[in-house]
Amino acid sequence: MALTQEITLARLQEHFGDAILSHAEPFGFLTIEIPADRILDVVGFLKNEADLAFGYLTDLCAVHMPEQSGREIGVVYHLHSLTNNVRIRIKCWIPEAAPEIASATSLYAGANWMERETYDFYGVRFQGHPNLKRILNVDHMEIFPMLKQYPLEDSSREDKDDRFFGR
C-alpha cells in the first residue's frame, strides 16, 4: 500500500495522540502543529519509521507573528519522503521572550545551516546546535532583522508620491 498524507497523519495521531494540536491540508500540503518540546520526537519518528521514511529535510525556517501573545515565533519544518513522494509541514510556536527549540542537527546534518540562518534572522536559539552563530549578517549585529519590530517605511518622508504605490 502506497503511503499517503492520510496514512501519515493517522500514524502520527496513533503514535503521538494529543501532541498533534491541529492538522490541515492547505494547497494539498499536509500541515500539522505540535508543541515545540516534541519536535525531535515527531521528526525522529517520521525519519526513522521504515514505511514513512521522511529522510529529507527540505527546509527549516521561521515566521514572526507579534500579535499572537506567548507564541509569536513559528518554527516551520518541511520534510519529504522521497521514496513515497509525500511531504509534510510541521509547525511549532515559541514565545518571543524565550525563543528556544531543540536542534534537529542530530537527525539531519542539513539542518545545521538552516538553523543558523533562522537564528541569524529571527533570534531562535536551537538548543544542542554544534555552532550556532550568525551566517549571513555581520557578527556584531545586535538585532534580528526579520522580527517585525520596526515600521515598514519611514512615515516622515516627504519625497514620495503615494499615487505611485496604489494608495
Q: Are 62 and 124 in contact (CB under 8 A)?
A: yes
- pTM for the model stands at 0.89
Burial class for 61, CB neighbours closer than 10 Å (0-12, 13-18, 19+): middle
For the chain, what are the domain ranges?
A: 5-148
Q: What is the Cα–Cα distance from 47 to 81, expressed in whole angstroms?
A: 8
Per-residue confidence (pLDDT) for residue 60, from 0 to 100: 98
User: What does the alpha-carbon distance between residue 147 and residue 63 come to, in Å, rounded to a whole number?
Assistant: 8
pLDDT tens, residue by residue, 74-113 = 999 999 999 999 999 999 999 999 999 999 999 999 999 9
pLDDT for 150 equals: 73
| 47-57: average pLDDT | 97
Q: Domain 5-148: give its CATH code.
A: 3.30.460.80
